[in-house]
Structure 1
Amino acid sequence: MDIIRIFKNKNYTYLFLANVTSSMGNKIGLIAFTLYILTRFSSQPIFATITELMYSLPMLVIFLFIGAVADRFDRKKIASWADFICGFLSLGLLFAIAIDSIVLSFFIIFVRSAVSNFFGPAQRAIMQGILTEKEYPVATGLNQMVNSILILVGSSISIFLYWHIGIEGAILVDAISYLVSGLLIQLCNIKVEIRLPNGEKSWKDVSIGALISDFSKGVRYIWNNKLVLAISSAFFLFGIINAGYALIPTYALKYKLAPESYETVLLWMGIVSGVGALFGSVVGSYLATKMKLYHIAVLSLIIMGSSVVFSGLTNNVSIFILLDFFISLAFPLLNIGFGGWLPSLVDPKIIGRVYGCLTPMMMLSHSVTLGIIAVTFPVYIGVSFLFFIHGTCMLLAAIFYYYIFQKNFANKRVVEQQM
């Protein structure tokens, strides 16, 4: 099996485990902190939205650096030191909570999020160098499995830790996860040409002009490759989906479906969602070898959009959890459909700059979505309408992507080769 063969590559195994622990560090503490904020400011949901904004806004500040750093400097060192620094910043967050400083807590979350954003492009660029072209979709499916489970089941783990060892214990687990991830990256034996595809560089060679030039190269590369451009636009959609589902289900449970027991329901929903994400990742990896990738992506958008719309209509907690299972199952398919395609199309020497363009695009839509939720909910719109808007956007996106790929790319040889 492809999955068994890919894990025989020790470097991939270390990177996979590093992604597991880094994602855990990135999500567990943040979710626990959001619960802490919801408990402390229960009548002011805007504070939970601000917490999510502190996670997404940093990318809009440092987007010029992300891709350039991944392509100019040692990718292994970038990935490992990003984790180490985030681990120590998590310890700083413990101090901020201990002195009861919300402002300092938000600031540390902001800085930690900025640093953590350097991990992804460097790790994915290394992954591209150590895998064959046929292994990309499988690896993307496995990574998506990890991310989906930790994003969705992360709420269950966080609630469990929050209940039993408090916010301080949850943040400590967060810090340890980052540090373990950094150590796993250090264990990788990566060839110099993969770590430094453009040769040894010095920080003295980096200037604002050089960073702008590198970012512009990434933008031009995307713009001049229609297939890459079409796939890249999906990352804007990812930002909207991630932002909405970071908060909307919690708001639905707390303010509509289960006000008195929303934490318990979130715990069980996280378990069910995790099963869905795991199943979706396995199915997605299999479908990637049998179907065209854009068909997988469109199918996932239809499943997700329909489930989200019905989630806003139901008043039954059990049905709500069941619909969340289908959403969780479909999301890995979406990421495999688009994310598993990109590495096959992009030059390894510029892959970091391409991801450096995609991530701020995703975080821009993420931040805008959170901003809209912060301003409009609950004063102007209710939680059911949030679901309706969210689901409708996905269904419209399914129609758009099917039309775009079917019309412009489906019969091109390059598409058939990559799909």
Structure 2
Amino acid sequence: MKGFLCFLAFPNACPPGQGLALLINRNYTLLWLGGTISQIGDVLFTMMLILWVGTLLQNQSVAPLAVSGVVLAAALPALLIGPFAGVFVDRWPKQRTMRIMDALRAVLVCSLLPISGPLPLPLAVKLTIIYLVVAVVSALSQFFTPAARAILKEVVPEEQFTRASALTVGAGVFSWAIGSTCAGICYVSLGAGWAVALNAASYVCSWVLVGRMRVAAAESRASAQPTSLRRVLTELREGLRFIGGHLQLRTLLLTESLFSFGWGIVSVLAFFYITQNIHVPMSLFGLFSAVPAIGGILGTLLVDRAAAKRGATSVYARALLFAGVMVVASTIPNQAIIDLVGFTLIGIATMQAEVLVGPLVLLATPEQMVGRVFSTLGTVTTLSSFLATFLSGYVSSTLLQGVVIHLPTDELNAINLLHIGAGVLIFVGGLHASRQFKKLQ
């Protein structure tokens, strides 16, 4: 570890062989560390906000609505700003963009510190400040995230794209597990103020680590074109036309939309399916929820070799086909043991597919378009997930309420039927990808 830290700080002063612990290379290691620390802080912050808002409105009927407001405040900027952010990401130096966004996010998060203490403010004012900060931080993330994905073209060799994506996605799964686990403990033991401070500190760490990257070429490629609304819209249309005219990108956009919609249904109904359909005690809910994440980590470890052997497009399509089948197959029996195995296999397959999205985009997109492509993909998938969240809750509570289909061995209720529909959507996405990618061979 001492040699590892030495190489990051002073690569030329370290003994030979000390760089072997690096992830791909020094630049990517710094990017990975900064992103992982920042993601842990984000998850901790988001979970803490839900607990904080829920506590502020404890035993009040509007509490669920207020908590959902946090999610809405984070989602809206992705839908409204995401596509336009890609235009600027393509214009600006990626490293500088990431650092500016980290600095601004750290300052904004720190602005919540005064209201996290005993400052005598009306509840409505506190909630308004929380929503505004969440929305602006999310808006800044729309610039940071595509810049972080686009900069891979400058810091990672092309043959290492899949490995880099696997490490990044695996870090995201790990960050979610650590952040969500620590959120409740941190909030109860230390209070909201410490969670806010920790998230701000994570942005500062990311700012420092990204600044240590040596991406000199990126700093000289800022666009000199005038920034006007007309020009921005023109460049946005150019990006959309490029996606529409490229078979691989067009296929990924539709397939990821179907996957996000289907997986959004599964995620929203997970609590009800686990506790009501397969009758898992509340004390074991966290274990069942963590199983797909464990499978996801296994998926990230296996995907590099699989892609090298069978091809990235083939593995991507097959993973979604398998995931769709497993979502349906594990839903019908309503058996806890079967679901544990099914959830693990689903996690492996879906994470393999998600790891390969980044490399497939990078390989198909010229550098001057990467920001717009990633931003468009992020916006479309966010919209699909958002619609799935709303529609699945609405349909299960209205159109399918009380609907039961009796089978010889069991019965299917609204949650089962929606899960089956989600699996079919994911399978259709994989089938579409398989057919379209064959045209590229």
Q: Under TM normalisation by the shorter chain, which class is it?
A: 0.7 to 0.9
Per the alignment, residue 138 of structure 1 pairs with 163
After TM superposition, the structure 1 = structure 2 runs for residues 99-178 of structure 1, keeping only pairs within 5 Å, are: 100=123, 101-151=126-176, 154-178=179-203
Cα contact 2:263–2:422 (8 A) shared by 1: no
Per the alignment, residue 309 of structure 1 pairs with 328
Deviations 1:10-48 (A, max 9, x none): 111101112212222332322343355567479775555
SS in 2 for 1:290: helix
CA distance in 2, matches of 1:374, 1:251: 11
CA distance in 1, matches of 2:83, 2:332: 42
CA distance in 1, matches of 2:53, 2:161: 39
Cα contact 1:156–1:271 (8 A) shared by 2: no
Deviations 1:58-82 (A, max 9, x none): 1221134311211112211211221
Q: Select which of 222, 233, 237 maps to 1:216.
A: 237
Report the residue type matching 2:131 in the other structure: F
Per the alignment, residue 15 of structure 1 pairs with 31
CA distance in 2, matches of 1:91, 1:257: 43
Cα contact 1:53–1:367 (8 A) shared by 2: no
The change in CA–CA distance for 1:12 and 1:42 in structure 2 (over 3 A counts) is farther
1:258 deviates by 6.4
Cα contact 1:79–1:118 (8 A) shared by 2: yes
Cα contact 2:256–2:429 (8 A) shared by 1: no
Report the residue type matching 1:215 in the other structure: L
1:311 deviates by 5.2
How large is the Cα RMSD of the aligned pairs?
3.1
TM-score normalised by the chain length of structure 2: 0.80
SS in 2 for 1:57: helix
The change in CA–CA distance for 1:89 and 1:316 in structure 2 (over 3 A counts) is farther
Per the alignment, residue 9 of structure 2 pairs with none
1:353 deviates by 2.0
Cα contact 1:149–1:277 (8 A) shared by 2: no
Identical residues among aligned pairs (%): 20
1:272 deviates by 3.7
| Structure 2: gaps of 5 or more residues | 1-18, 401-413
More divergent stretch after superposition (118-127 vs 80-89): 80-89
1:65 aligns with 2:89: no
The change in CA–CA distance for 1:364 and 1:379 in structure 2 (over 3 A counts) is same
CA distance in 1, matches of 2:201, 2:255: 33
After TM superposition, the structure 1 = structure 2 runs for residues 397-408 of structure 1, keeping only pairs within 5 Å, are: 397-406=429-438, 408=439
The change in CA–CA distance for 1:305 and 1:97 in structure 2 (over 3 A counts) is farther
1:173 deviates by 2.9
TM-score normalised by the chain length of structure 1: 0.83
After TM superposition, the structure 1 = structure 2 runs for residues 175-214 of structure 1, keeping only pairs within 5 Å, are: 175-191=200-216, 193-197=217-221, 199=222, 201=224, 205-214=226-235
Per the alignment, residue 415 of structure 1 pairs with none
Q: Which has the larger radius of gyration?
A: 2
More divergent stretch after superposition (105-114 vs 138-147): 105-114
SS in 1 for 2:366: coil
Report the residue type matching 1:247 in the other structure: V
Deviations 1:357-384 (A, max 9, x none): 2222222212222232454454444444
1:317 deviates by 4.9
CA distance in 2, matches of 1:16, 1:225: 30
CA distance in 1, matches of 2:106, 2:266: 26
The change in CA–CA distance for 1:71 and 1:251 in structure 2 (over 3 A counts) is same
Q: Select which of 365, 369, 388 maps to 2:420.
A: 388
1:347 deviates by 0.9
Q: Select which of 26, 42, 45 maps to 1:29.
A: 45
1:7 deviates by 2.2
The change in CA–CA distance for 1:359 and 1:82 in structure 2 (over 3 A counts) is same
Report the residue type matching 2:420 in the other structure: F
The change in CA–CA distance for 1:112 and 1:228 in structure 2 (over 3 A counts) is same
Cα contact 1:73–1:201 (8 A) shared by 2: no
| Structure 1: gaps of 5 or more residues | 412-419
More divergent stretch after superposition (301-310 vs 78-87): 301-310
CA distance in 1, matches of 2:291, 2:60: 26
